[in-house]
Chains A and B, each alone.
Chain A
Amino acid sequence: MTIGPELLRINDLSIAFPLMQGRLQAVKSASLRVLPGKVTALVGESGSGKSVISQAIMGLQPAFADVRGQVLFADPGASKASAAPVDLLKLPRDGRQLRAIRGSRIGMIFQEPMTSFSLLHTVGNQISEALRVHTTLSPAARREECEEMLGLVGFSDPRRVFDMYPFELSGGMRQRAMIAMALICRPALLIADEPTTALDVTIQAQILKLLRDLQEKMDMAILLITHDLGVVANIADEVVVIYQGEIMESGPVGPIFRAPKHPYLKGLMAAVPHFDMPKGERLKPLREIVVDHQTLLGGLTAPVAETAVAAEPVAASAQAAAVRPADVTAPREKAGGFPEVLLSVRNLRKTFQTRKQDWKVGRAAPQRPAVDNVSFDIRRGECLGLVGESGCGKTTVSKILMRAVTPDSGSVVFDDGAGPIDVLAARGDDLQALRTRVQMVFQDPVSSLSPRMSVGSILSEPFDIHKRGTRAARKDAVSALLKVIGLDPSAARRYPHSFSGGQRQRIGIARALALAPSLIVCDEPVSALDVSVQAQILNLLKDLQKDLGLTYLFISHNLAVVDYMADRVAVMWAGKIVEIAPREVIMRSPAHPYTRSLLEAVPYPDLDRPLNFARAGESSTASSAGWAPAFRDDGGGRDLAPLDLGGGHFVLARKSADLSEVQP
């Protein structure tokens, strides 16, 4: 490894955007360095200016951006005579010199593997394009080179992948192809802009391992841009912390992690949920939100609910309202009439037909079900975590519970004290009543709120739909809701676009709360948010649960978050629930190999607990072949059944397996 002079030196970089509202200073005289053959991590929240810096290095920033300062790039591959550092900012925009560096000497990968490729061109075409621009190789040689690189990034059949289209690859595979594209010319520097943020933990671990391996093999420097301290601790040599466009702290990873000096970095570290937190410890968000607990305890939507009884003699809403007062005023109280199990799911099964199959009648291969024999109970007042990689069927389960997807078979029974309701068979008024008692919080706070409705009308829409209360009562309820989520009642007049991601997610939560439901399904509610904001939302959800006696189904792929939120955790893999147990049990002594691999893939923001990269390289489908025989499914899935390990701990194993085989 060569430790020579700096590969990249950024001096006093300032970037400003002239906007209609005035000048936006995105980066304020930032300076940082990247050493050859080392990984430098640039850490910060979204909006801190870290991505703009990476764009400015390559000259990819928007044309109207005002960039000042120096970006010195000393190319070690250049001939001795021209080894002097070049100021990349001085080169003409999109000019020949800059283009010769882009893709050839500096490669770049982006956050979104889904959109970074053109879907109309083959993977090979797009990868070899960089070679065509920067080298004089013949087409055959280019193809050879590409296939070699595709093999290097972990494709088992590079020849086939070369001719595939990007949409035929999964997210993780696409990110691998993206890495191959950035590295095809063997650059001296790779800029990775949030390369794993859009990916699952298991795939994230694979990609991190890949980046590390390639970095060593090719003796390349990486500028890694991320907000995930866990990723930083596992891969970086040097860390630069950026906050609101200013560099707060920089230096080797050891001192920074062991003795963070700057309060911002300390705060960032306290905001991340981790597995060693004692039960009941709260996360400390960087900016605490003030929640009006008084409103919470005073019966949130009581005025609306009461008028509903008077004005709406419809059986369903009266029934719903009759349950509520006890619900709100006496949370957690197990009154005699309330059953312990709020929602009971039995043997759900759903298979999606793909379009391709519709055409080829006769040749249809048996489809793997998206949801396969899923059963679980959600107890009143608890938070059940549902964990699994993307595509495992967890969102489909939540959609079935909301009646957005109809399962092929199975049953869902909901009972909040007003008698059991068959969720899948509910029609008309019953269904309408059910809708008030089960609500949902969505993943994407941007697209789940209509941009054309004011926050006030978004929040009062549930009352309109269910004909609750008078105009004035609705207005009061909306301001009460806004106070509960820590926003000023004046926010009701504003539109969603004027709020930040975290605030929007809070509005989404308020909308779910409006009808005082007993069950809220949270589908990845924080995965689109920064760590600091994530802590706010998680704390808010916890407080609401405590004060209102809510029950949650909390869906996430982030185990640390689930560990923080959930009382019990169900792990899903390939449409099945492979393990379900109280959270302490599942986090400390997981039985199923998939649960274990999930836990192992979580990067800790702790230098003493590095990821086990040796085991991270495989996808779960590939590694499932290596599981202990007790967990393997050889007989078409009919052999597997949940096995009771005691204490509410169930694991999916062969019926013939005995306890000693599956004990952790």
Chain B
Amino acid sequence: MVRYILWRIAAMVPTLFLISALVFTIIELPPGDYFESYVSELRAMGEEADLAEIELLKARYGFDQPMVVRYFHWVGGFFVGDFGYSFEYRLPVSEVVGDRLWLTILLSTVTIIFTWLLAFPIGIYSATHQYSWGDYGLTFVGLIGIAVPNFMLALVMMYFANIWFGTSIGGLMAREYLDQPVSWDKLMSIAEHMWIPVLIIGTAGTAGMVRRLRANLLDELQKQYVVTARAKGLHPLRILLKYPLRMALNFFISDIGSILPAIISGAEVTAIVLSLETTGPMLIKALQSQDMYLAGSFLMFLAFLTVLGVLVSDIALALLDPRIRLGGGSSK
């Protein structure tokens, strides 16, 4: 088992290197660089750019050097916590991202937990009461959840939250706590603001997960071992929780790998609508203005999360499923 985990971690390294090369190539692909678009933007506004300063910056960040050198310079920085320099903000990337990263992670985690808490009971109910009114009703609600675009839901919620609860739900906390050190009041403010984005981002995921859990459970409920368990005289609920649900968990766990980045990147449009202080809006802005180190580091962050998620789900699967853990011991 330890061997397996070590092997999987070792396998992450080349994967991440490949991804970093890919990301770097992609952000280099559009013609020109940040400075050119900056200069042309200034010109469009009728201002003269300080060409000398720009030349200085270009030399400092190695823009006159070949792509390969710049790539290794960029990647090498990761190991010492240097993710490059954001030209847009004129700050190191790590400082720009800082707080937003933690808020993103917090929001995502809460969303995932919310999704699971909602999806599990509904999925189990739908599967065990197949073709009942409850099943149809929940399916209907779920399909609406999938069909309605997140940003639209966000707008609607924003409106009603303002009218009914008097909460101005733009952002993840009240304005006065921005850039303040962590305090009890700040946390309370975050909690107060958090539920709306969680609800919005979570609905679509929940609906999809309910459908998948329902389908998986329905398959498992037909299996012979369920009949065996009934023949032993077990209570139906106990059978359900111990056998088919446990089997159906496998897909749930293998989902973790894709859920992390999906939630973080999928929430961008919502985040813009609600003007959340997460990383999503920043990434889009960075891509628009060709702020390449900022954008690249973001993409790397997403990739890292994906790889990490897959690792976590693989390890969890091995722990949960003896067939994987004791792999190859099958007699058939």
Chain A positions near chain B (C-beta within 8 angstroms): 58, 60, 94, 99-104, 107-108, 110, 112, 114-122, 129-130, 133-134, 165, 167-171, 178, 181-182, 354-357, 359, 391
A60 near B230 (CB under 8 angstroms)? yes
- The answer to whether A357 and B231 touch across the interface, beta carbons within 8 angstroms, is no
A-B contact count (CB 8 A): 97
Nearest CB on A from B220, distance (A):
10
For the complex, is B65 an interface residue (Cβ under 8 Å from A)? no
A300 CB to nearest B CB, Å: 38
- Smallest CB-CB separation from B325: which chain A residue? A165
Tell me which of B227, B231, B242, B330 contacts A167 (CB under 8 A): B330
In the bound assembly, the distance between CA atoms of A116 and B236 in angstroms comes to: 17
A101 to B233, CA, bound (A): 7
Interface residues of B (CB under 8 A from A): 3-4, 223-225, 227-236, 242-243, 246-247, 320-323, 326-332
Chain A residues, CB < 8 A from B246: 118, 120-121
With A133-B234, A169-B331 as given contacts, are A112 and B224 in contact (CB-CB < 8 Å)? yes
Ranked 9 nearest A-B pairs via Cβ: A356-B328, A355-B328, A103-B233, A102-B233, A103-B232, A115-B224, A108-B231, A99-B233, A130-B232
Q: A103 with B231: in contact, given A118-B225, A119-B322 (CB under 8 Å)? A: yes
Contacts of B247 in A (CB 8 A): 118, 120
Minimal Cβ-Cβ distance residue in A for B320: A120
* Contact between chains at A120 and B234 (CB < 8 Å): no
State the CA gap A278–B90 with chains docked (Å): 98
Query: With the chains together, A445 CA to B235 CA distance in Å?
Result: 37
8 Å CB contact of B227 from A110, A134, A165: A110
Distance in angstroms from B81 CB to nearest chain A CB is 35
CA distance A101 to B242 in the complex (A): 21
Please name all residues of chain A whose beta carbon is closer than 8 Å to the beta carbon of B326 when the two chains form the complex: 165, 168
Residues of B within 8 A of A121 (CB): 242-243, 246
Query: Considering the chains assembled together, what is the distance between the CA atoms of A449 and B144 in angstroms?
Result: 39
Query: Which residues on B sit within 8 Å (CB–CB) of A170?
Result: 331
Using A110-B224, A110-B227, A110-B228 as known contacts, say yes or no to A134 and B233 having CB atoms under 8 A apart. Answer: yes
Chain B residues whose C-beta falls within 8 Å of the C-beta of A129 in the assembled complex: 229, 232, 234
Tell me whether A181 and B224 are in contact in the complex, defined as CB-CB below 8 angstroms, given that A114-B332, A119-B322, A168-B326 are known contacts.
no
Query: Which single residue of chain B is at the shortest CB-CB distance from A98?
Result: B233
- Residues on the A chain within 8 Å of B223, using CB: 115
Nearest-CB distance from B326 to chain A (Å)? 7
B225→A115 contact, CB < 8 A: yes
Is A102 in contact with B323, judged by CB distance below 8 angstroms?
Answer: no
Chain A, residue nearest B223 (CB): A115
A359 and B3 contact, Cβ closer than 8 Å, known pairs A94-B236, A117-B225, A119-B322: yes
A residues near B323, Cβ cutoff 8 Å: 119-120, 165, 167
**B235 → A minimal CB distance (Å):** 7
Q: How far is the CA of A391 from the CA of B330 in the complex (A)?
A: 13
- A268 to chain B: closest CB distance in Å? 27
Q: 27 pairs across A/B with beta carbons < 8 Å?
A: A58-B231, A60-B230, A94-B230, A99-B235, A102-B230, A112-B224, A118-B225, A120-B246, A120-B320, A120-B321, A120-B322, A129-B232, A130-B232, A133-B232, A134-B233, A165-B326, A167-B322, A167-B323, A167-B329, A167-B332, A168-B330, A168-B331, A181-B228, A354-B328, A356-B329, A359-B3, A359-B4
Residues of B within 8 A of A356 (CB): 327-329
Q: Which residue of B lies closest to A58 (CB)?
A: B231
Asked whether B332 lies within 8 Å of A130 as measured between CB atoms, the reply is no
Write the nearest CB–CB distance from A111 to chain B, whole angstroms.
9
Residues of the B chain whose Cβ atoms lie less than 8 Å from the Cβ of A107: 231
**Complex interface: chain A residues within 8 A of B228 (CB):** 108, 110, 116-117, 178, 181
Tell me, rounded to whole Å, the shortest Cβ–Cβ distance linking B275 to chain A: 46
Q: Which B residues touch A122, using CB under 8 A?
A: 322
Contacts of B236 in A (CB 8 A): 94
Contacts of B232 in A (CB 8 A): 102-103, 129-130, 133, 181
**Shortest beta-carbon distance from A359 to chain B in Å:** 7
